[in-house]
Amino acid sequence: MIKKRSAIISLVLAAVLIALMAFTTGHGWGAGTKGSAKNIKLGLDLAGGVSITYQTKDKNPSKTDMADTIYKLQKRVEGYSTEASVYQEASNRITIEIPGVTNANQVLEDLGSPGELYFIAQKGSDGSENYSFNNATGKYELSEGKTIESLEKDGSIVLTGKEVSSAKAETTEDDMKNKQNIVSLKFNKEGTEAFAKATTAAAAAGETIGIYYDGEFVSVPTVNEAITGGNAQISGGDMDKDMQIAKDLASYIRIGGLSLALEELRSNVVGAQLGENAIHTSLIAGLIGLLIIFLFMIIIYRLPGLVSSIGLIIYTLLVLVILNAYDITLTLPGIAGIILGIGMAVDANVIIFARVQEEIGAGVQIDRALRSGFKKAFSAILDGNVTTLIAAIVLFLLGSGSVKGFAQTLGIGIIVSMFTALVAVRWIIYALYTLGLKDPKLYGKRLFKPAFDFVGKMKIWFAIAGGVILLGLIIMFVHIGKKENGFNYSLEFMGGTSSTVSFDKEYSLEEVDSEIVPVIEKITGDANVQAQKVKNSKEVVFKTRTLTLDEREEMEEQLGTQFGFDKSAETPVATENISSTVSSEMRRDAVVALLVAIVCMLLYIFIRFRDIRFAFSSILALVHDVLIVVLFYAVSRISVGNTFIAVVLTILGYSINATIVIFDRIREEMGLKVDRASLATTVNTAISKTLTRSIYTSFTTFVMIMTLYILGVSSIKEFALPLIVGIIAGGFSSIFISGSLWYLMKTRLGKKKIAQ
């Protein structure tokens, strides 16, 4: 234990830390109240942002080029926010929505005007100049009679923007230690080969290669040497005088790599998709959920429960500070990551203090019980959190859009929860003990009861799991038999209709949510209407499933009758079909990221437990939980959209963590009783000793989500309900399925026959 002086210092530091973080999140510091929770960037679904619509210069672009352009734009706008979305409108329009941004002009300036980009050799195959400097205009221009088409036929187009992987403005030092602004380029495989060939020829002849963007030369750098490694630098000229010139050039090159040339059609600042009430109700639900957890932990674990509650306060404040400090955009999937983080933070404390109560129940003194509790709980906490952290890292690196956003907040939550449980809570409980809180009644005790025969009844558990899954599959196929989709896909997955309505007055977003949206929901039968108010205007954008002509006409009639249209508007209701915001490429990224994450988790579990059966059992339990949730979507007809991905990923993290806690106890029990008990008894004992932990953790996580469901708006309810089902499925599989699966594999697939 720590000394008395250190104990006092620890408590004072904890109090100061909480006070500083509370002040920071509640008020902030200095001008603009930096650090305040109100300054956290919120996603388009929670707070709105900028919406920009481009139109292709080609009136009839191919589906392949549109899909490629959308995907490339998606990857680029993720620089503003991982939650930015890009989707198709009509046949030749692309809309970009960037959350947490209020200046559309700044975004347009940073992004650049998407145009066609070409790298042009100075001379053609016949030796004539492809371009020259015009003293009258002060610019380089194509030589008379030269066009892009003729240059392509001539072979003078060295490469296009499609072969450029990245372009970035940087400041470096030359050989004389003088600072200079440059643009660093990186080419793909085809671009590397083409650029190497072109620069070899240009360097030998002392020629230039012109960078031609959207009808004019933006840079004409001299080639000093052959560039063969796939990386190049553009330097000199006016860039040394002004970094903005370098940034503009990098922007032109980045955006010029799109498959299609685009032109801006419109840009707006829009309001939240889920409405203002979503944030308010989510905050209230979160606070109520935390208070219930505090009371529960104090009742069950007494003094350690109080300390756990203090740890949760530190966890919550730290997460808010980090979201602010790293400018992370928070959306509904991000909230799912935080909820899972809270569940894992509670879980770590439950594991520790359940162990402490076990030690006290076995007659161990309080100080030794505390040390032993933290020591014995460490491996379970480490393995559970690291496994989930591996998944978060993989999802962030390989995922797109909302998957990245979920992974960010989940990763932050895991790291912070481990710090609070293993450092903050530990020091506080040690300090309180040192200062005289040593009465065993303050800590409670738990006496181990005879183990229930979980393994012996495995056929019952497997039958229940199989029966639920089979019932879900039957109902899903019934829907398919009725010529319906197996799932109720939302517009994020299937696309839909975007209706821009010009009203005769400016409605607040709250009025839109409470008065206008219900009218549209009644007409369309769509419970997931997304409404976005265009800032400082009378326009509101409504996104729904794809509407029929009759539904469009009825909606226009009802809105005009009940709310009135702007008489000056040529088209009071302008409708466009829009593509899914989750493109096929993003879905592919999500699936690949999920599969890679599962493989990485499997490898980690195998390395840590030295038994591949632990890994396969945990993955099978995970598949069970995810399958239950997916089938629940099919049965309940809850819409499958962006939150679907967040829910599945949340259950993945929750399930693997719950299973590992039990496996850690099995490993421990085998080490203690390998020669004295049968394997079935060992598994039953391990599950029984972790049973309260499984129940308590499921309950606390359930409480957080249930409060969201009870108090949330309709979109929040559709997010919370599948999570509740997933938590129940995860609790069932961790207690009844995972250990039995491992036992089955161990006894049937082991190299040696094991005593039954």
d(CA 146, CA 133) in angstroms, rounded, equals: 14
Residues of the chain with pLDDT under 70: 1, 31-32, 43-48, 79, 82-83, 100-116, 237, 252, 254-259, 269-279, 332-333, 336, 340, 400-402, 483, 527, 535, 581-586, 642, 671-677, 713-715, 749-756
Please give the structure tokens belonging to residue 388. Answer: 């989930």
Check if 4-25+274-442 and 117-257 are the same fold: no
E strand or H helix at 96: strand 93-99
pLDDT digits (tens, 9 = 90+) for 102-117: 666 666 666 655 556 7
- Give the pLDDT score at 467: 95
Please give the structure tokens belonging to residue 53. Answer: 């619509």
User: pTM of the full predicted structure?
Assistant: 0.69
Residue type, 574: A
Query: Which residues is 236 bridged to in the sheet?
Result: none
- Give the pLDDT score at 676: 42
Top CATH class of 4-25+274-442 equals mainly alpha
**CA dist 369 to 357, 373, 670, Å?**
8, 6, 22
- Give the pLDDT score at 585: 65
Q: DSSP state, 610?
A: S
Q: What is the largest CA-CA distance in the chain?
A: 97
- For 203-260, the DSSP string reads HHHT-BEEEEETTEEEE--B--S---SSEEEEE-GGGGT-HHHHHHHHHHHHHTTSSS
For the domain spanning 49-113, the CATH number is: 3.30.70.3400
Q: For the stretch 110-143, what's the b/e string if a residue is b when 16 or more beta carbons lie within 10 angstroms of its beta carbon?
A: bbbbbbbbbbbbbbbeeeeebbeeeeeeeebebe
d(CA 435, CA 36) in angstroms, rounded, equals: 35
CB of 321 closer than 8 Å to CB of 17: no
Please give the structure tokens belonging to residue 486. Answer: 């197996």
- Give the pLDDT score at 756: 44
- Give the pLDDT score at 296: 92
Q: DSSP state, 449?
A: P
For the domain spanning 496-578, the CATH number is: 3.30.70
Query: Which residues is 503 bridged to in the sheet?
Result: 565
Long-range contacts, stretch 198-201, CB < 8 angstroms, 24+ apart: 198/119, 198/121, 198/158, 198/159, 199/223, 199/225, 199/226, 199/227, 199/228, 199/232, 200/226, 200/228, 201/121
d(CA 41, CA 56) in angstroms, rounded, equals: 31
Structural domain 117-257, CATH architecture: 2-Layer Sandwich (3.30)
Residue 86 burial (CB count, 10 A): 26
Q: Is residue 676 exposed (0-12), middle (13-18) or buried (19+ Cβ within 10 Å)?
A: exposed
Q: Where are the domains of the chain?
A: 4-25+274-442, 49-113, 117-257, 455-474+583-748, 496-578
Residues 6+ apart with CB under 8 A from 152: none
For the domain spanning 455-474+583-748, the CATH number is: 1.20.1640.10
